[in-house]
Amino acid sequence: MNKCINAKTSKQPNLKKQRGFTLIELSIVLLIIAVLGALGYPKIRTFLISGKTKPTADDITLAVTRIRANAEGTGNTPYASVATNTIANTLRDRTNALTVTGVGNAATLQHKLGATGSQVTAAPATITTAGDSFTLTLPTVNSGACPELATSLQNSAEIISINGTVVKSNPGSTLYNGQTAAAACTADDTNSYVFTFR
């Protein structure tokens, strides 16, 4: 009987072999994560840009309101000297949605709704008389802001075009065609907006 007990206790326990991930398995998992991330990045970026659209429109409206107030009572061509630096200096220290660089006449303005370094430009325009209005152009806008940017500024802009398609054309009215605006939008950072204000 002693021999039976000793035989049982002297036996090695049945150890299972522990196993971790091999380098190949880990590489495959990382590759799958990278592919999924690459496929999802454009959608995530579009979603993030969509969230920046309203603050950008609000800051543009602020600048336009201030420029209109400064032009009050200056005659039939109050916007004849409006330039990019006018908008940039108006928004200095008042915007988080746009980036102001430089000072004075060298001030520039960039939007954050698309390609990095997208310069916003402003210039005098004509609705009935040269200098009675001004344009604000935002190039390389991502589809995540299209057509919401136009929709947000439809009440303050007289004329709006997206990629050369006029989506609001009757100055002084509230006519805005959202379906035309949506149809004018293109994919990625390829949209160009031109707003005319008076």
pLDDT tens across 73-118, in order?
888 899 999 999 999 999 999 999 999 999 999 999 999 999 898 9
Residue 11, pLDDT score: 59
At residue 72, what is the residue type? E
Measured CA to CA in angstroms, residue 30 lies from 26, 36, 42 at distances of: 6, 10, 19
| Cis peptide preceding 13, ω within 30 of 0 | no
Residue 196, pLDDT score: 97
pLDDT tens figures, 128-180: 999 999 999 999 999 999 999 999 999 999 999 999 999 999 776 768 999 99
Q: Do 134 and 82 contact (CB within 8 A), yes or no?
A: yes
Q: Do 146 and 139 contact (CB within 8 A), yes or no?
A: no
At residue 27, what is the residue type? S
pLDDT tens figures, 1-11: 555 555 555 55
The Cα diameter of the chain in Å comes to 119
**pTM, 2 dp:** 0.80
pLDDT tens figures, 33-80: 888 777 767 778 888 899 999 999 999 999 999 999 998 888 889 999
Residue 69, pLDDT score: 93
Helix (H) or strand (E) holding 160: strand 159-162
- 24-197 to CATH, choices 3.40.309.10, 3.40.50.1000, 1.20.1580.10, 3.30.1690.10: 3.30.1690.10
Residue 6, pLDDT score: 53
